[in-house]
Amino acid sequence: MHEQTIAKVIIQEATKHGMVKAIFVEVGDLGHLPAHEMEEVLKTLTNWKVTVTKKKATIECEQCNYKGEPNIVEKGHDHNVFRCPECKAMMPKILDGDQIILKEVEVQ
């Protein structure tokens, strides 16, 4: 159900640009939904061409100062469990890759 709420916001934003033919959405590794679920629900709710790309997450560990991709332990609906791959500290600071973004809208 949560995925439909997010999808409806994306659809509403896209339609502000005119008669939509296609949308391009970026889903971060630490976003609220997995990329494949976001793509599936957008395709179900529209007749547009939907392209969803995944974006790698970037974290910064306050324990060991590591910057880079996290070790994602668990990914579920509206929750992620991740840790620093260097020192194994849980839930380091997220720098990027935790959002779902409408990147481009193609109109008729």
Angle between helix 35-45 and 2-15 (nearest 10): 60
Specify which of 14-23, 25-34, 69-78 reaches the highest per-range mean pLDDT: 14-23
- Domain residues of the chain, as ranges? 2-107
Ramachandran class of 14: left when φ > 0, alpha when ψ lies in -120 to 50, beta otherwise: alpha
Res. 2: pLDDT tops 80: no
Strand duo 100-107 + 20-28: pairing: antiparallel
pLDDT (tens digit, 9 = 90+) per residue, 5-25? 999 999 999 999 999 999 999
Which one is the CATH code of 2-107: 3.30.2320, 3.60.21, 3.40.50, 3.30.70? 3.30.2320
Please give the average per-residue pLDDT across 34-46, as a whole number: 94
The reported pTM is: 0.89
pLDDT bin (cut points 50, 70, 90) of residue 32 is: confident
